[in-house]
């Protein structure tokens, strides 16, 4: 296990000169795409043991399209293992309490997706106490001094708080990309204000209540005026005089719920010091394992088109004859 503050130039195999443009490091929010495939792909796909594989097939298609389109030299795939053991649960028992536990059928597929990424020579990030967002944040934070910029592949607004001058976030499904300067147009606040913004108005997805009576528009107005949650809380006497509907009551609520607001910000702030366990190649694409790739293809019943694409993505020679199959679920996945 390598802690973030122990990562050095050997991880990246490059220390960029000051005038060298930063190299893109692709950071994939894998869990988002696994869950999306789990909910959108038909559950008729089964592995050799009869377990569902719809999420694996959908994730494989996403991953192959990304690798074929971008051909990234540096990439890390972050998974959520802390579904119910994240450090945030110790801070607030209600964190993500609105979500049902992942069924065993889905947990198995997460394991297959991680195994597939590792077999392709891609760095896999996962930790039982830190979420994928924290692993992405830590990876980017430690890679920047080594001459990298982040390309965060996710639609999650939380991750926009990580964007700095050269970084980019990419909603792969919608084909939308934005940088640090594009965050305000999308979310109403600047990148460095995202955590404060979510602390004020709440985040229903993660079951974070926010401050009573403050919605997204009010939170954006407050942060536009005060700049940060800390400044806002230090100048509450000014809030009633703002040209904002219900401003006087907001001041009362903020005063009453000050400690809650600070707690919510602890939950909405992405950690930059999560432990990272990286392969010897660091973020650079490593050597693929053809035996594991072939074994996964056989066990998960991938069709010949997917098998060919996986071998090509891994830089492996194609087999002399394709494995027969009448249907390739990844190729035929609905858009």
Q: What is the DSSP string of 291-305?
A: HHHHHHHHHHT--HH
Q: Judge if 128 and 216 occupy the same domain.
A: no
Asked whether residue 150 is domain-assigned, the answer is: yes
b/e burial code for range 92-119 (CB count within 10 A of at least 16 → b): beebbeeeeebeeebebbbebbbbbbbb
- Range with the poorest average pLDDT among 1-5, 130-134, 242-246, 299-303: 1-5
Asked whether residue 293 is domain-assigned, the answer is: no
Query: Which range marks the domain in which residue 35 is found?
Result: 4-184
Asked whether residue 55 is domain-assigned, the answer is: yes
Q: Judge if 205 and 179 occupy the same domain.
A: no
Q: Judge if 141 and 195 occupy the same domain.
A: no
- Residue 205 sits in a domain whose CATH number is 1.10.150.20
From residue 145, alpha-carbon distances to 12, 14, 166, 270, 271 in Å are 10, 11, 13, 19, 17
Alpha-carbon dihedral angle through residues 6, 11, 16, 18, given to the nearest 10 degrees = -20
Q: Judge if 83 and 195 occupy the same domain.
A: no
Would you state the pLDDT for residue 157? 95
Q: Judge if 95 and 196 occupy the same domain.
A: no
Secondary structure class of 289 (helix, strand, coil) = coil
* 38, 106 Cβ separation under 8 angstroms: yes
Q: Judge if 168 and 210 occupy the same domain.
A: no
Tokens of 17: 């000169």
- pLDDT classification of 103: cutoffs 50, 70, 90: confident
- Residue 95 sits in a domain whose CATH number is 3.40.50.1010
From residue 8, alpha-carbon distances to 106, 110, 239, 283 in Å are 35, 30, 46, 12
Would you state the pLDDT for residue 335? 35
Asked whether residue 314 is domain-assigned, the answer is: no
Asked whether residue 142 is domain-assigned, the answer is: yes
Q: Judge if 93 and 205 occupy the same domain.
A: no
Among 268, 294, 326, give the residue marking a domain's end: 268
The mean pLDDT value of the chain amounts to 89
Q: Judge if 176 and 202 occupy the same domain.
A: no
- pLDDT classification of 99: cutoffs 50, 70, 90: confident
DSSP letter assigned to residue 316: P
Asked whether residue 304 is domain-assigned, the answer is: no
Q: Judge if 31 and 122 occupy the same domain.
A: yes
304: how many CB neighbours lie within 10 A of its CB? 17
Over residues 29-53, the pLDDT tens digits come to: 999 999 999 999 888 889 988 999 9
From residue 67, alpha-carbon distances to 60, 177, 269, 295, 316 in Å are 10, 17, 30, 21, 14
Among 184, 214, 239, give the residue marking a domain's end: 184
Q: Measure the CA–CA gap between 37 and 43, rounded to whole angstroms.
A: 10
Summarize the confidence of residues 223-232 as an average pLDDT.
98
Summarize the confidence of residues 146-151 as an average pLDDT.
96
What's the number of domains the chain is made of?
2
- Range with the poorest average pLDDT among 171-185, 225-239, 279-293: 279-293
pLDDT at 18 over 70: no
Q: Measure the CA–CA gap between 191 and 118, rounded to whole angstroms.
A: 32
Asked whether residue 292 is domain-assigned, the answer is: no
pLDDT at 330 over 50: no
Q: Judge if 160 and 206 occupy the same domain.
A: no
Among 268, 291, 310, give the residue marking a domain's end: 268
pLDDT at 143 over 90: yes
Q: Judge if 98 and 232 occupy the same domain.
A: no
CA atoms in the 13 A half-sphere facing the CB of 142: 29
pLDDT at 16 over 60: no
Secondary structure class of 284 (helix, strand, coil) = strand
Asked whether residue 323 is domain-assigned, the answer is: no
Q: Measure the CA–CA gap between 246 and 208, rounded to whole angstroms.
A: 22
Q: Judge if 209 and 259 occupy the same domain.
A: yes
């Amino acid at each position: 296990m390598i802690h973030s503050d122990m990562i050095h130039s050997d991880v990246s195999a490059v220390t960029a000169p000051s005038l060298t443009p930063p190299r893109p490091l692709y950071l994939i929010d894998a869990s988002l795409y696994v869950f999306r495939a789990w909910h959108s792909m038909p559950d008729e796909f089964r592995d050799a043991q009869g377990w569902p594989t719809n999420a694996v097939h959908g994730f494989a298609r996403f991953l192959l399209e990304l690798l074929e389109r971008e051909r990234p030299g540096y990439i890390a795939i972050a998974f959520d293992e802390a579904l119910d053991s994240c450090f945030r649960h110790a801070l607030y028992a209600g964190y993500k309490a609105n979500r049902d536990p992942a069924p065993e059928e889905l947990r198995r597929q997460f394991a297959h997706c991680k195994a597939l990424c590792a077999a392709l020579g891609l760095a896999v990030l996962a930790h039982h106490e830190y979420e994928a967002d924290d692993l992405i944040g830590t990876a980017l934070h430690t890679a920047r001094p080594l001459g990298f910029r982040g390309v965060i592949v996710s639609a999650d607004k939380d991750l926009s708080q990580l964007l700095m001058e050269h970084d980019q976030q990419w909603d792969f499904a919608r084909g939308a990309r934005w940088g640090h300067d594009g965050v305000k147009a999308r979310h109403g606040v600047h990148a460095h204000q995202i955590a404060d913004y979510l602390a004020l108005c709440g985040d229903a997805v993660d079951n974070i209540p926010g401050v009573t009576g403050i919605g997204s528009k009010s939170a954006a107005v407050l942060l536009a005026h005060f700049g940060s949650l800390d400044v806002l809380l230090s100048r509450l006497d000014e809030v009633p005089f703002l040209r904002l509907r219900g401003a006087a009551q907001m001041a009362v609520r903020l005063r009453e719920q000050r400690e809650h607001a600070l707690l919510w910000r602890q939950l909405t702030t992405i950690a930059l010091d999560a432990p990272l366990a990286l392969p010897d190649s660091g973020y650079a694409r490593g050597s693929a394992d053809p035996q594991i790739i072939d074994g996964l293809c056989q066990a998960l019943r991938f069709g010949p088109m997917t098998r060919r694409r996986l071998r090509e993505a891994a830089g492996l020679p194609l087999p002399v004859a394709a494995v027969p199959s009448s249907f390739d679920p990844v190729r035929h996945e609905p858009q």
